[in-house]
Structure formats: structure tokens, C-alpha cells
Structure 1
Amino acid sequence: MSFTESIVSALYDWHRSSKTTSPSMSSGSIVFRPRTLVDRLPNELLTAVFAFSVDHDPHDDSILTTSPMTLSHVCRRWRVVALACGSLWCSLVITYPTSPQQFTRVLTFLSRSKNYPLDILLDVRDPEWDFEQPETQHGFTIQDMQTVLKLLSGNGKAAPRWRSMELLTDTWAPIHTFLEFTREWAPPKRLERLVLSRCNAYFARRGQLFQPAALSAPIPLFQAAPSNLHHLSLVGVHIDWSVFRAPLLTTLELKYHAADIRPSFEQLAAILTSCSLLETLSIIGSGPSLPPPSSSSPPMIPITIPSLKSLTIGYVDASAAVRLLSLLRLPFLTALGIEDAGQGILPHDEDFSPFSDHGPVVLAALTNLSDDVIALKQLTSLTLDSLTAPSGVLALFLAKCPAVRHLELQRVNLVYPVDVPMLCKLAIPKLPCLVLDDEVHELN
């Protein structure tokens, strides 16, 4: 069944079911049974129980949660209560491959959610997709994305209710369609969380250019940034950096951008300084396009983010990461994460030697940072991921972080093997424990 046929079938089934009247309470035979404790609950308490039991997180597979569809099919009373509670029906999920059942479910939830905010997950990734294939061969097309957006926006009526939108794709076409489709919209006032992810980290490789080149032109995010947007994650996705501003943003993630579509340093500075409430920043396999160092160039003005509490830098080019860090002023930073994002995405002809000098370069640069850049002595949380360095370099860096109480080392390779827990304990005497490759080591 084609995608369009699935939509038509879903619309037919939904309209047919919506015209079916519920049986009256007096119809059919009457069955008497003892009232249970649940039967004695007033509707208000039963509604609260439903709210706790319904799974509003599309990523949560916990057996302790259930679907409002299940609750509404237990008995007549539960159905009446469930249908009256619009907040139970706010989580909309569409995954690839799509089906008429998915669309019927979405139509049902849209109708029953009334005027409550909507949380949407659109995951159109194909587990069997070969990234070497042309994008035009992907099973989810531009036309499919247009149809889904019309469905999820209710032809414009439901879009103002979006509270969370997460779009996961293999290819650029669906995200380009999303940006084009929404660029003329007034920003959804309820939108708090937006995740646009093209799940292909290989675009972060050194020298890699954006593909498809014909669709590389930047597109604004809505007419303006949503006024209530708190969380924005752009993974392999670029927008018109020159006009984007989000004053209420508290979390910003920029990941895996090709070199030619990254923001300039000035554009990134304008974005970050406009986010007066920003607390968490992740720049992984991305970062601004920095001009080559030159003694004749005017000095670059550092970016000051006084509200920032947590920073994660995932570098592919160690020297670029060091330059970026030197241009930040983070006076109240308490959590720092450093990751070698190049591991696993470098071309096969590049050096995978465990004695890479990237780790020592970055750790040494951090060790020598002045306190007006990042005050290492006030860090309470530190995460190092996929780094290779001599044990002495690591020890010197950790000694600069005496206040750290949460230390996590993932896939850290020391050139001269030592007892890592003992090294960490000696460098940070008050460290209570160490998370080493997901294993907790008590140090006190």
C-alpha cells in the first residue's frame, strides 16, 4: 500500500468510527457486580490516576505506562472519563514505515486532545537505509513529508498547539520540507522543545561539504523564533543563522554540521549573546567557521555567557576546539564535557592511531586556560569521552579541578597505562567516586 493510500485509508476509517455513536448506558443487559475500590473513586481522582499511568514520552518503553486507547476500552465509565480528559491524548507518534493504523491513531488523538498542547515524534529513519545511496531513493519522500505536516498541523489549526516537535531523518529532504513548510508560519506560541536531526554524523568529517548542494541555502526557522522555545537541538541541520534569535532558550545543541553550512563566529556570538537564559550548550562535531589566525587581523571579541552552567565540546579538529574555547568567557560554568567526536567518523585513510595528539593538545590547552575563560577550580562535574592522552597530562588537568565531585571517563585511553582510579584520587583528593566506562568506583 502506497503512502497516499495509507492516508486515504486512515481518513476513511477515522471518519467512519467518529460517526459511530457509543451505546447508551441503558442498552443491553445489566450485569450487577460488587463495586471495587477503583469503582468508588470520584472521576477527578480516576482522571489523576490515568494521567500518571499514561506514557507521554514516546521514547519510554516502560511496562509501567500504558496507552489512553487501552484505558478507554476497559469499561463504559473509564471510556467516558478518558475521552473527557484531553491531556491524555497529547502524544502523537509517526514512525517509518508508516501505516493506515498510525494515521488513524493520530487523527483520533488530535480530535480527543481538544485544545491541549501536543508532543510530536516523527521518526522517518529506515533501519536498512544505506547512506551511500542517493537520497532520492529513500522510501520517505518530500511528498510524504508534506502530507504528514498537513496532518500534524491540522491544516494550520493544530500547529499553534505544538509543545514539542522531534523530527528524526536519514536524509535532508524531509527537514528541508519542514523548514519550507513552516517558514511563513507565525511561531507556535506553545512550542518549548524542537529537535531537528539528520542522523548522519559523517558530515562532520574534516573537509566534508553539505549534500545535496542544491538544497544548502539557509532557511529561517518560522517567521521568528518561537517566543516560548527553551530547548533547541539542530543535528546536521542548518537554518538562517543570521536572523535566528531565541531569548528564552535554556538549552542549545549544535551537532555534526558540514563545514560550509556552519555559522560564522560573529553569527554564533550574536545567537549566544541573545540567549540571556542559556544554561546548557553542546557543540559537537560543529562549531563556528573561524578565519585563519593572522597577526594582521583585528582581534576577535570573546563571547561572554554569564548564565551558562554546562558546556560540552565534541571536537573533530583539536586546534579549532582550542581556539573556540579561548574565545569563550564562562564565569559561572560548573559542568564541562570534552569529547573526541572524530572517533568513528573519520575516513578510512586517516590516522586511527591510539597515540593521537588530539587529546594532549586539548587537555593541555584547558589546563592553561585563565580563570576568566573557564574557572576550572569551580567545576563540580567533568566528563571526558573518547580521549587519548599520556597519564601525566591527564593528572595535571585533573589537579586543576579540585572541586569536581562527579567525574566520568568514557573510553579514555592512557598512553602509559596506570591505575586510573588511583590517578584520579591523587589528582582530586576529595573526589567521592569515579565513573569509568559506566562502572562506578568508590574512592572514599
Structure 2
Amino acid sequence: MELTDIRHLLNSNNTPNSIEGVALKAKLAELTTLSNRLRAQLEEVEDQIAQYRGVLSIMRSMPCEILSLVFSFAFEVPLPLDRAGRDVLLTFGLVCRNWRNASLLNHQFWCGLIISPGDLRDRESYEKIVTWFGRGGHFPKSLYLLSPLGDPDANGLLTSDTTLKLLTQGPVLDHLSFECEDTTVLDKFVHSFYRVEGVEPLKRPWDSLRSLEVIISGGVVDGWYFHTRGTSKNIFFSLPPIISFSLRFPNQHIAFDSDLASVPSLKLGIPQSLLGRLKSLDITCGWKGPHILSILQSCRRLESLTVDMDGMPFDEVIRPSMPLAQPPQFLPIRLAKLRVLRLQNQAKTLRLLDFLITPALTTLDISMQGCDASAKQPNCDWLVNAIIGLIQARSHCEDTLRTLRLHDMTFNDPGDLIAILAVQPALRSLTLDKINLRIFSWFWQSPITRDTLANLVNLSVLQISLKDSYNIMKEIFAFFKGWVPRHCEVCLSFQEALIPDTNAAIRCWKGMYPELLSSWEDMGISFSIVP
């Protein structure tokens, strides 16, 4: 039937008869076939358009140097890379040749490795590690021998043939970090390098180390082990000529079980030749006895010092028989080159500061365990006096101190925090992390606070209680109201999961100063709220 015989049906509501119905179905099938063919052609054309656009895309023309930086920000696995992180990086490199070249160009991906016991089960583990480091070029290499908690193969990681070969015949290493369960494993590990035949001493990766981290997670077996008698048995005499040392001991109750009587008289036996070379020392040792003071006496070249007391009050760490006045044998400990001082997990007092003189100090970082910084404790210096005594009375470093971080402490009297800041007129960066400030308005409105922080370029107020969020933002904005326009980065964070966002901060700003037409950006302030 001709199309003209059914055309009238397309523009009317008439019901087609049987003959017209057959004609309509035939035409519908014809049009459907044509539609499918055209749709397939359209999809093919669209695919070609996408290909051509892909060839002309910015990503394809982006230099590998920039693409490698994009990888650094997009890469959600922290550096150095463990096995999972390495798998992600290798997957990136499989996308295309440019992505592979970009991943190879970023040497920070290839210069650090976290090795676990499972990585050494492969027969070619040594070759794979050497190949990985080879992609890092001539940049310093870091090796981390770490085991998951409770891994039965943890000790085998240190004594494996692959580990021994890496540290005697492998690539040159700048930093080594390893963890051992007890000092017996540590002894076996360190002395294993000296029993390898056919390897010339002083040309091993072990001997090229400049930085070393030793983590002892379990017990100290045999007290004599650390004593200086017999250098062949003391592992510290067998260490390479490092200039950066991180030494982490467990709590004394874990390290010595029930035998705590000999802890104060124990000698670590670290040779003065090693301590005298160190530029950086990070030590965790909450044991009774003047171990830390004894070590620091020989660390004359230190530029960075971190002391973690593991929650042990310093008055209990020094010998019980030692009077509270500074003992002559530990006076003074002058660290003339020290620039960075971090005290972590301190408890009750900061009496360690009473033994130090740091005239070149630029960064002070103190973390307490929720102590009351305003409490006047009997028979010992309280926190505020300890800090002021270090900065003003002994070190005279008021004009060099640029960075201050205070963490996990309470100031019932804001005047105490103001007093600490008052002796740091050159302060450029201030971090108040988990600081409970009872009367925060007085602190932010004080003229001394304004004068001391006049040169501030970075202010971080972190782990704020949510109930205080609006008031703290209000007081900080009030502090900046008379701010001479210049750059300052301000960052806030809150303890609770539900936090105010930047819009809440904008409402707070406008609610306080409706007469101000300028935003904080116009005043040179970069404001952010982070989790």
C-alpha cells in the first residue's frame, strides 16, 4: 500500500483498518531499522569526537613535571609506600606512557619503602627492592622495616637473608628505621653485619647511614646489655656514624617487667663519639634515672631535640635521692646550636627545661597530658615559670624564637598564657592545640597579646570544643579587627565530628562588624576550618 494511503492517519485520530495496520507496521519496522543504523553511526561519530578531544586535552599536553605533582596530591597513600601504596602507584603507571613517565619523575615515590615480613616471602624480593630504589635516582633513600602488631614473623624480618643482603650489598641508604621485640633481637640484628664474609667494611649500606630510628617494643633482656663494659657487646658501639638518631624505648613496666630496682642505675652506654656527632636526637625514655640528662651532656652539636617522657613525671625520672635543686653534675647543659626543641607526653612539670640553655632556639613545641598549666605546684617550678626561665632567664632567645606550639593543657588564668607569649616578641607562628582557656576573651583582648602577636603570619587554634566555637571565632575576629592589612593564615579545628563550616564563620564575621564592608581576605587573612 502506498504511503499516501495511510498519511491521513498520522494527523488524525481515525482507527486504521486491517490493511492500513499492516502498512503502518511495515513502515514502522523500516523506520526502526533506519533509526538503529543512524544511532550506531552517531555513536561511532561521538566516539571519534571523544578520541579527537582526548588527543587535544590539557591532560595529554600537560608536562610530566606538573602531572607528577598532581599525582602527589591525588595519591591518598602516605609516604613512604607500603605494599598497598606501591600497588596503587604501579596501577597509575599502567594507564598510559605519560602517566608512567610522570610517576617515574616523582622521585619521592621511589626513595622510601616500608617492608613487612610478607614482602620477603617472594624469592625475588631483594631484586624488586633494588629495582624500586633504582628508580629514585641519586636522591636519599629510606628503608623502614616494620611489622604489623602481633605479627609472628616480626623478628624474622630483621634477621632475614634479604634484610642482611640489603644492608651489606644493596643500594646506598640515608635512613633506616626498624622495630624489634626485645634487646636480644636487636643485638643479633646489629652484630649480624659483622659476620658477613666477602663484604668490605665501611662500604656497606649500613655504614653509609646518616639517620637511624630504633624502636624497641618489648623487654630489655639482661641489664648488663646496655652497660659500657666490653664495646664488642654494646650495640651502640656498632652503630654507623649517624648524625640523626631516634631511639624509642617502651614504658619501664613493659621493658623490665617487675625488675625495676636497677632501672635508675642502668647505663645506656651510648658512646660520646656518637652523641657528639648528632645534629638531631629523638628519644622516648620514661624510665627512672637521669638517662636523658646523661645523654644530653655530650650532645653539643644538636640542632633538633625531641624528648618523649611517655607520661612519666620528670621529678620521678631523675633519681629519687637527687635534690630538687639542680645537681652540679648536670649543670649547665648548653646546647648552643639547638634550634628546635620538642617535648612530648610530658606530665605535671617541665623540670627538664631547668637543665637546658638554648641561645639559638627558634621553635618550641610542648605537649603535656592535660595538665593545669596555672597550678602552682609545691616544691617545683610550674609550667609557666619553666618556659619563661628557659627563654628569658637562661637562654636569652627572645629575639630568635619564631614558632611556638602548646598542646593539651589548661590555663585557668589567661594571664599565664599571656606571660608565656610576652617573652617571645619575635613570634611568627603560634599553635594552640587542645588548649582549654577558661576566660578566652581576656586573652584575645589583652594589649600584651596584640603586641606580642603583631608579627604573626600563622595562627592555628585546634581541637576547639564545639560549644565554644562561636565565642572563640568571635574573639579571634575581634583580635584581627584592628589588624594592619598583611598576610596571616588562620586555621581552626574542632574536637567534634560536626564542625562549623566557613559559611558559619562568615556569618559570625558579618554579625560582629556590619559596618565593615571588607572581608577578611581584604585584610590579608587566609581563614580555614579543617576537621
TM-score (norm 2): 0.54
Match of 1:334 among 358, 362, 377: 362
Q: Which residue is 1:436 aligned to?
A: 461
Q: Which residue is 2:225 aligned to?
A: 217
Q: Which residue is 2:342 aligned to?
A: 312
Q: Which residue is 1:166 aligned to?
A: 177
Q: Which residue is 1:258 aligned to?
A: 287
* 1:125 and 2:148 aligned: yes
**Which string of whole-angstrom CA distances, capped at 9 and with x for unpartnered residues, describes residues 223-270 of structure 1?**
3542xx34322122796323451555332111244335x636344211
Q: Which residue is 1:245 aligned to?
A: 274
CA distance in 2, matches of 1:37, 1:193: 47
* Alpha-carbon offset, residue 60 of structure 1: 6.3
CA change 1:125–1:173 in 2 (3 A) is: farther
Higher relative contact order (CA 8 A, sep 6+): 1
CA change 1:303–1:296 in 2 (3 A) is: closer
CA change 1:153–1:87 in 2 (3 A) is: farther
* Alpha-carbon offset, residue 317 of structure 1: 5.1
Match of 1:283 among 307, 313, 325: 307
* Alpha-carbon offset, residue 282 of structure 1: 1.0
Give the percent of matched residue pairs that are identical in Structure 1 and Structure 2: 17
- Say whether the 8 Å CA contact 1:257–1:285 is kept in structure 2: yes
- Say whether the 8 Å CA contact 1:86–1:112 is kept in structure 2: no
* Alpha-carbon offset, residue 423 of structure 1: 5.5
**Which string of whole-angstrom CA distances, capped at 9 and with x for unpartnered residues, describes residues 157-184 of structure 1?**
4357222212246766654543444577
- Say whether the 8 Å CA contact 2:214–2:248 is kept in structure 1: yes
**Which string of whole-angstrom CA distances, capped at 9 and with x for unpartnered residues, describes residues 322-364 of structure 1?**
2x32222211112112221x55xxxxxxxx8898657981212
* Alpha-carbon offset, residue 398 of structure 1: 2.0
CA distance in 1, matches of 2:330, 2:119: 53
CA distance in 2, matches of 1:333, 1:252: 15
Equivalent position amino acid for 2:297 in 1:
A
CA distance in 2, matches of 1:279, 1:95: 32
* Alpha-carbon offset, residue 120 of structure 1: 1.0
Q: Secondary structure at the match of 1:377?
A: coil
Match of 1:140 among 130, 153, 166: 153
- Say whether the 8 Å CA contact 1:94–1:102 is kept in structure 2: no
CA distance in 2, matches of 1:49, 1:72: 12
**Which string of whole-angstrom CA distances, capped at 9 and with x for unpartnered residues, describes residues 359-391 of structure 1?**
981212323457462335222211111123332
Q: Which residue is 1:236 aligned to?
A: 249
**RMSD value, Cα:** 4.9
Structure having the higher helix fraction is: 2
Name structure 2 gaps, 5 residues minimum: 1-50, 196-200, 227-233, 251-266, 465-472, 481-531
Name structure 1 gaps, 5 residues minimum: 1-32, 130-137, 200-209, 344-351
Equivalent position amino acid for 2:142 in 1:
D
**Which string of whole-angstrom CA distances, capped at 9 and with x for unpartnered residues, describes residues 396-428 of structure 1?**
2222222212111112234x4333761576434
CA change 1:357–1:69 in 2 (3 A) is: same
Q: Secondary structure at the match of 1:411?
A: strand
The 5-angstrom pairing of residues 357-376 of structure 1 reads: 361-369=382-390, 371=392, 373-375=394-396
CA distance in 2, matches of 1:77, 1:437: 41
Q: Considering only CA atoms, is the larger Rg found in Structure 1 or Structure 2? A: 2
CA distance in 2, matches of 1:112, 1:370: 46
Equivalent position amino acid for 2:360 in 1:
F
CA distance in 2, matches of 1:258, 1:297: 19
- Say whether the 8 Å CA contact 2:407–2:434 is kept in structure 1: yes
Match of 1:95 among 112, 116, 119: 116
CA distance in 2, matches of 1:181, 1:362: 46
Q: Which residue is 1:12 aligned to?
A: none
- Say whether the 8 Å CA contact 2:280–2:304 is kept in structure 1: yes
CA distance in 2, matches of 1:86, 1:427: 44
Q: Secondary structure at the match of 1:307?
A: coil
Q: Which residue is 2:402 aligned to?
A: 380
* Alpha-carbon offset, residue 296 of structure 1: 12
* 1:193 and 2:216 aligned: no
CA distance in 2, matches of 1:316, 1:102: 43
* Alpha-carbon offset, residue 316 of structure 1: 3.9
**Which string of whole-angstrom CA distances, capped at 9 and with x for unpartnered residues, describes residues 256-299 of structure 1?**
44335x636344211x11x2xx3211112178846612889646
CA distance in 2, matches of 1:69, 1:155: 22
Equivalent position amino acid for 2:341 in 1:
L
Q: Secondary structure at the match of 1:259?
A: coil
Equivalent position amino acid for 1:314 in 2:
Q
CA distance in 2, matches of 1:224, 1:366: 35
CA distance in 2, matches of 1:122, 1:353: 39
Match of 1:395 among 418, 422, 445: 418
Q: Which residue is 1:349 aligned to?
A: none
CA change 1:356–1:375 in 2 (3 A) is: same
Match of 2:439 among 405, 417, 432: 417
CA distance in 1, matches of 2:96, 2:421: 61
- Say whether the 8 Å CA contact 1:179–1:221 is kept in structure 2: no
TM-score (norm 1): 0.63
How many residue pairs end up in the alignment?
A: 364
* Alpha-carbon offset, residue 303 of structure 1: 1.6
**Which string of whole-angstrom CA distances, capped at 9 and with x for unpartnered residues, describes residues 201-230 of structure 1?**
xxxxxxxxx83443672233363542xx34
CA change 1:37–1:230 in 2 (3 A) is: farther
Q: Secondary structure at the match of 2:222?
A: helix
* Alpha-carbon offset, residue 90 of structure 1: 4.7
- Say whether the 8 Å CA contact 2:373–2:383 is kept in structure 1: no
